[in-house]
């Protein structure tokens, strides 16, 4: 049973437009959420995170929104660039299991020039 | 800059062989992790270690063991490889004391024939 789900396996966006990647979770014990980006033949790299006490965190072109009541988070990339083309994983940490992250299945983003 | 290296990028093994995957990090991190990545399933935690000679099972430890004799090195062992262990294996490290970000190696793609 996947506790963190990314329901869209892929997303295609035109350069300059907004990319919105979504993530849903089921475990109310998750208190910290992260987004990782992965290029082919490389390990995932940390992108942005948000604590459950916040509903938004922004870093340059990247913004993560958290809706706790809906158990939903989203990553917005504005404006999208071709170099953003990668697989994006959402991850969640349980507040009683500090070392363990639960990852979603990933969304492949393709930004077309 | 954190560097996590993995001993091999690609490995081909036969069913029943013993397989060693090595991971080394150079940032004196206390915590180290082994994940496998499969399409649609994201990253799933196999084992992690929070100190030398300490280990904890993750979500899918069956068929695997680990060894951490030195702080910088974390090994994943497949005692008797099976075809369902064909996967991408990712190692990560994280500092102790509440650090959130895990830093990943480039991955080892293992094919078991």
Distance set, CA A81 to CA A18, A60, A73, A96, B45 (Å): 10, 13, 22, 38, 31
Residue range B33-89, pLDDT digits in tens: 999 999 888 899 999 999 999 999 998 999 999 999 999 999 999 999 999 999 999
Which residue among B40, B102, B105 sits closest to A105, beta carbon to beta carbon? Answer: B40
Taking the CA of residue A49 and the nearest CA in chain B, the distance in Å comes to 9
Rounded to the nearest angstrom, the minimum Cα separation between A59 and chain B is 16
A32 with B104: Cβ contact below 8 A = no
Is B49 touching A (CB cutoff 8 A)? Answer: no
> Could you please report the per-residue DSSP string of chain B?
---EEES-SEEEE-TT--EEEEEEESS--SEEEEEEEETTTEEEEEEEESSTT--EE-S--TT-EEEEEETTEEEEEESS--GGG-EEEEEEEE-SSS----EE---EEEEE-
Task: Tell me the nearest-neighbour CA distance from A83 into chain B, angstroms.
Answer: 19
Least CB-CB distance to A99: which of B9, B31, B101? B31
Q: What is the pLDDT of residue A98?
A: 62
Residue A32 to residue B43, Cβ atoms within 8 A: no
Residue that wins the pLDDT comparison between B100 and B77: B77
Cβ(A55)–Cβ(A65) below 8 Å? yes
Q: Would you say residue A39 has pLDDT above 90?
A: yes
């Amino acid at each position: 049973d996947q506790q963190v789900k990314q329901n869209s396996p892929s997303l295609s966006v035109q350069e300059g437009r907004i990319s919105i990647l979504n993530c849903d979770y089921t475990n109310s014990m998750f208190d910290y959420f992260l987004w990782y980006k992965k290029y082919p033949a490389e390990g995932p790299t940390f992108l942005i995170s948000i604590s459950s006490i916040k509903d938004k965190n922004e870093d340059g072109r990247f913004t993560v929104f958290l809706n706790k009541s809906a158990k939903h988070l989203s990553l917005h990339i504005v404006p999208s660039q071709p170099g953003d083309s990668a697989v994006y994983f959402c991850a969640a940490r349980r507040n009683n299991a500090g070392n363990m992250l639960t990852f979603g299945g990933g969304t492949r983003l393709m930004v077309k020039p | 800059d954190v560097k996590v290296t993995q001993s091999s990028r690609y490995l081909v093994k036969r069913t029943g062989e013993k397989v060693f995957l090595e991971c080394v990090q150079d940032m004196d991190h206390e915590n180290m992790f082994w994940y496998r990545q499969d399409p649609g399933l994201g990253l799933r935690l196999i084992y992690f270690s929070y100190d030398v000679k300490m280990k904890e099972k993750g979500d899918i430890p069956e068929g695997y063991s680990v060894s951490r004799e030195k702080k910088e090195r974390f090994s994943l062992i497949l005692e008797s490889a099976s075809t369902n262990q064909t996967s991408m294996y990712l190692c990560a490290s994280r500092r102790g004391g509440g650090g959130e970000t895990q830093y990943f190696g480039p991955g080892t793609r293992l094919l078991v024939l």
